[in-house]
Structure 1
Amino acid sequence: MNNWFNGFLKNRRETSIQLLLVGGIAITVNVLASELLLRFDLTENNRYTLSPASVEIAESLDDPVTVTAYFSQDLPPQLSQAQSEFRNFLEEFRAYSDGNMEYRFVNPGESDQAEREAQQAGIRPLSIQVRERDQVSQQRAYLGAVFQYGDKREVIPVIQPGTALEYSIASTIKQLTIEQKPKIGLLQGHGEPSRQEMNEVTNQLSQMYELVEVSGLDTTAVPPDIEVLMVVAPEQQLSQQELLHIDQYLMAGGRAVFAINRVRANPQRGMATPLNTGIERLLASYNVPVNADLVRDVNAANIQVQQQQGGFQIVNQVQYPYIPLVNNFGDHPVSEGLETAMFQFVSSVDVSQADSSQSLTPLVLSSEQTGVAQGQFNLNPMQEWNQQIFPQAHIPLGVAVEGTFHSAFVDVDTIEVELASSRQTSLVVFGDGDFVINGRGQQQQQRLPQDNINLMVNAVDWLADDTGLIELRTQGVTSRPLANLADSTKTVLKYLNTFLPIALVVGYGVYRYQRRKIRRRKWIESGV
């Protein structure tokens, strides 16, 4: 009896120790799990893993950032997925922020007070279609967020499914925490588009930069605190003094984007004429001239053309080679991740003149079936577009250049140049100035393809040496349509899907039957 009691106490003591060990391990694992974030991202571009730039932004937070996300409940699957992805990204930012980022989710539909709070915060309701019991009804939904950092506040009114959510979060945090925005100069005074006329690009840039209009270069130099000078679609001739000031800004190490039109197109008259503003003189001296031609491409956008047929005005959709749809991009941070951009009456960039002191990378190239019009420009959209006028391939439409450059005025006797050559600097040159313009004057403001905006903003980011968020801006969901198959192929695949599994099962059964038959014969022959 005494031995049994001692054994009982011993087993009980061992059980208690085991329970304490298991409990301690469980507590330790939970503490570590709250501090460590472990996820497996199997997407092609690691879409659900924070980039080093985002990690740096999260780790650099010194004061708390509070995120209030307003999401309606019982959303359709696509919208519900956006909410889940947004929550996951917030959790990852919180894990890297050392406690300096917190978030909460609010359902505006739970009460009138919550809905008023969302609307007062700047969150816009969406009207979505909901199918219930074979009936379609309209429902108001909220998908937005408010970021608070000290007394600063930024709002994402609508979180669109399939967009680059990591970029939205990272750029919003950076916008809140940046102390002084770098200055980006917009050249004005020569017919260039205003900020309002390219509002999508300027709105994107104004999140990270202070946009400053640069004019009056006849009497004053380009301000030295301008990080990047944007020269977009000038229409009038610049004076020699203005060109000199731009040249000397670059020679002093300044950086610039040149998006210029070398041909003035008039589609209504079906004509075009060369355009000279003086900028082409600068680019030629920097070994990246833009040619006075127009590139036509088989891969092009459709336009509406009115035709007279039997006394009626008929509007037809016609593919127009002078508006190329470009999906061939170079291997460079500016063009990384882009899918399709649209250009209008674009000219080619000559890449053959760059010297050994310069590194040139084509950013945008035409398709494999391309042609160039020079001298005589026939813009009639109803002309015959035969294959003979598309003999070329991969014509550069935009380039990035790094290195040193020689002043365009070093050989001009009447001008004393302070800086004859530049220090190490960078330029981006596009043969089209209209690809970032939403509209001029009384023309309707049109929405641009998203990659048109991304291309220009990426160029400014790269020149301003702010490349961290470039790769995130284009990290949305890539369109991957299913391949179109011939009817005969579809028929073969259909019968394979139907009969192949049955044939495999029957074949395996026959194989098993033959094996058992052979084994039985061996048993009989061995006398077992």
Structure 2
Amino acid sequence: MVSNVKKKNDILEYIFLIAILVFVNIILSEHFFRLDFTQDKRYSISPVSQQVLGKLDGDVYVEIFLDGDLNPDYERLKKSIKEKLDQFKAYSNNKLEYRFINPADEADEQMRERGFRLIAQRGIKPKYFLEEKNGQKTEKLIFPGAIVSYRQNETPVQFLKGNKVQSDEEQLNQAVEGVEFELLKAIRKLSISEYKTIAIIDGHGEPAKEQLEDVTSTLNEFYSVQRIRLDSITALKHFDMAMVIGPKVAYSEKEKFILDQFINNGGKAMFIYDAIDIRKDSLKNGETFGLSKNLNLDDLLFKYGIRMNQSVVEDMNCAKTVVQTGLNGEVQALNFPYYPVIYQFNKHPIVKNMDAVVLRFAGSIDTVKAVGIKKTPLIQTSAQSKEVQVPFQIDLDVLKKDLDPASFNGGIKTVACLLEGSFTSLYKSKPAPVEYAVVVSGAKPSKVLVCADLDMIRNDYDVNRNMPVPLGYDRDMRYLFSNKEFILNAVDYMMEEELLLVREKEVVMRPLNEQKIKNDKKYWQIVNIVSPIILVLIYGISRYLWRKKKYGTPRNV
């Protein structure tokens, strides 16, 4: 009887357990969630990503070209991409599909080369490197990128970006950190429906349309960009951001007032220009001069917390310029300290994991007291730099001599700075230059970015090919610097695009000691082979003795 009751209770407990499992499964199927106990939350995606993916009203397809025989570092990158895409798929309610493709899998060499060219034409940059196995070095070509497609449109994603000065291992770690951001940026680009507006101020001798074509064409993929004149008090009424780029003619008080009121009403603003006048074309003759100029903007920026210095910075870490070094027209690329190369940045989302930027005749800026304004230096020279006050002469013949490191003792100079907070109007305590205008001061918080180098945003133009040279491309060094990435990141941050906050995620590297691995390799190989055998023997003997003791026949005394 007792046995039947016990049996009945066991069956009821079993049924009850099954019912709980079914109920939990139903609840979890309706309410998706994930748990991530890692310190750096590497297996989680940000709330911003969840929000973007949850609003998708069409299917997203991702082709990743990172597959095949990869070394452990690139396998780690591939694994990170797969994990992020799995999470994207879950949070998008299965509206995302992906597949990994090995471009080198084609047996026919001609077809394989053709496939490589097609991938490159679609915007994925190849990566060449030497791989060493068993003492043999082989050259490998991989494509660490993807193509994201949405509603018959597609855009490339390049995972391997970051600071090229860092080691390969650190660059790959930066790539792992940036997987979510790069994928989400591509999805946002293809799915965006409402465009915020940007005004590029015109009418003061600003660079021609062709000289800003690279950055404006890219910005137009995410925003609506227009060139306007400040000819009325309402000129900026329907814009979210105003960009002051390279003026040559001074602003009138009325125009400055319109800018000031736009900022004090919450509008965002960028000031990117040279504070001094340098005739760069004169360098073709071997020399040029730096002179002061007045754009009537100094008092406005000073009120906001920035002083633009009438100077130019020189840096030991610099790009090159071509100089004639012989009597027969021989030329050589020599280090030119007036072209600083900046590759050390802080952890701010605008510049985090960014590759180097190049400056040309950049000025310096100082911060001054401004109540309630947060100031964040974004672009700074190295400690081996100095500052030259106007007026000055630049003679290319000096470059033929070695630079004297002892003279570059001016310390770090700030070239670009971000200001955030509620600004005080320049016209708060003085009459407005516009009749009947009501002065607004600090009505809404805003953001202002100041950069003392026009070439941070201005691209060269190839007249022969009738097309812009990519922003940041240095012809003498044949290298594409990250000037455009800086501008795009800054615009996203200032426009309060939460997407940029995804860049704050940091994956901590925990590298193994390579030398110790090499020295102890045989020891750990033996341990890994012998230890399982010993553990199995111990388990077998222990189990045998336990069973013998439990089930063995007791000896009669």
Q: Distance in 1 between matches of 2:240 and 2:314?
A: 34
The question of whether the paired residues in 1 share the 8 Å contact of 2:378 and 2:416 is answered with: yes
Q: Distance in 1 between matches of 2:180 and 2:385?
A: 37
The question of whether the paired residues in 1 share the 8 Å contact of 2:260 and 2:425 is answered with: no
Q: Report the residue type matching 2:317 in the other structure.
A: N
The question of whether the paired residues in 2 share the 8 Å contact of 1:363 and 1:400 is answered with: yes
Aligned partner of 2:155 in structure 1 is: 156
Q: Choose from 228, 234, 244 the match for 2:257.
A: 244
How far apart are residue 290 of structure 1 and its match?
Answer: 0.9
Most deviating of 170-179 and 367-376: 170-179
Q: Choose from 79, 94, 105 the match for 2:99.
A: 105
Q: Report the residue type matching 1:213 in the other structure.
A: R
- For residues 111-135 of structure 1, what are the alpha-carbon distances to aligned partners after superposition, in whole Å with 9 as ceiling and x for unaligned? 99xx99x979x94687787999999
Residue 377 in 1 paired to residue 375 in 2?
no
Residue 469 in 1 paired to residue 499 in 2?
yes
Q: Report the residue type matching 1:431 in the other structure.
A: A
- What is the TM-score of this pair, normalised by structure 1? 0.71
- For residues 325-372 of structure 1, what are the alpha-carbon distances to aligned partners after superposition, in whole Å with 9 as ceiling and x for unaligned? 2244456443444453322211111212x2324332322322223221
Residue 256 in 1 paired to residue 269 in 2?
yes
Q: 1:500 to 1:65 in 2, by over 3 A?
A: closer
Q: Distance in 1 between matches of 2:356 and 2:507?
A: 14
How far apart are residue 170 of structure 1 and its match?
Answer: 1.4
Residue 349 in 1 paired to residue 365 in 2?
yes
Q: Distance in 2 between matches of 1:250 and 1:139?
A: 49
The question of whether the paired residues in 2 share the 8 Å contact of 1:243 and 1:279 is answered with: yes
Q: Distance in 2 between matches of 1:391 and 1:13?
A: 88
How far apart are residue 429 of structure 1 and its match?
Answer: 1.0
- For residues 183-228 of structure 1, what are the alpha-carbon distances to aligned partners after superposition, in whole Å with 9 as ceiling and x for unaligned? 122222333335653444334433332222222x234633312111
Aligned partner of 2:455 in structure 1 is: 434
The question of whether the paired residues in 2 share the 8 Å contact of 1:188 and 1:194 is answered with: no
The question of whether the paired residues in 1 share the 8 Å contact of 2:65 and 2:102 is answered with: yes
The question of whether the paired residues in 1 share the 8 Å contact of 2:471 and 2:484 is answered with: no
Identity of aligned pairs, percent? Answer: 21
Aligned partner of 1:324 in structure 2 is: 340
Structure 2 residue matching 1:91: 3-state secondary structure: helix
Q: Report the residue type matching 1:469 in the other structure.
A: L
Q: How does 1:419-498 map to 2 (within 5 A)?
A: 419=439, 421-424=441-444, 425-440=446-461, 442=463, 445-448=469-472, 451-466=482-497, 468-472=498-502, 497=519
Structure 2 residue matching 1:469: 3-state secondary structure: helix
Q: Choose from 168, 188, 192 the match for 1:174.
A: 188
How far apart are residue 308 of structure 1 and its match?
Answer: 1.0
Structure 1 residue matching 2:182: 3-state secondary structure: helix
Residue 222 in 1 paired to residue 235 in 2?
yes
Aligned partner of 2:226 in structure 1 is: 212
How far apart are residue 374 of structure 1 and its match?
Answer: 0.7
Aligned partner of 2:380 in structure 1 is: 365
Q: Report the residue type matching 2:455 in the other structure.
A: D
- For residues 280-311 of structure 1, what are the alpha-carbon distances to aligned partners after superposition, in whole Å with 9 as ceiling and x for unaligned? 343234342211111122232233333116x4
- What is the TM-score of this pair, normalised by structure 2? 0.68
Aligned partner of 1:270 in structure 2 is: 288
Most deviating of 225-234 and 72-81: 72-81
Q: Choose from 60, 73, 90 the match for 2:85.
A: 90
Q: Which runs of 5 or more structure 2 residues have no equivalent in the other structure?
A: 161-171, 473-479, 528-557
Q: Report the residue type matching 2:256 in the other structure.
A: L
The question of whether the paired residues in 2 share the 8 Å contact of 1:288 and 1:351 is answered with: yes
Most deviating of 423-432 and 334-343: 334-343
Residue 187 in 1 paired to residue 211 in 2?
no
Aligned partner of 1:334 in structure 2 is: 350
Aligned partner of 2:423 in structure 1 is: 404
Q: Report the residue type matching 2:486 in the other structure.
A: L
Q: Choose from 51, 55, 61 the match for 1:61.
A: 55
The question of whether the paired residues in 2 share the 8 Å contact of 1:146 and 1:156 is answered with: yes
Q: Which runs of 5 or more structure 1 residues have no equivalent in the other structure?
A: 1-6, 484-489, 506-528
Q: Distance in 2 between matches of 1:129 and 1:350?
A: 43
Structure 2 residue matching 1:289: 3-state secondary structure: strand
Q: Distance in 2 between matches of 1:407 and 1:376?
A: 29
Structure 2 residue matching 1:235: 3-state secondary structure: coil
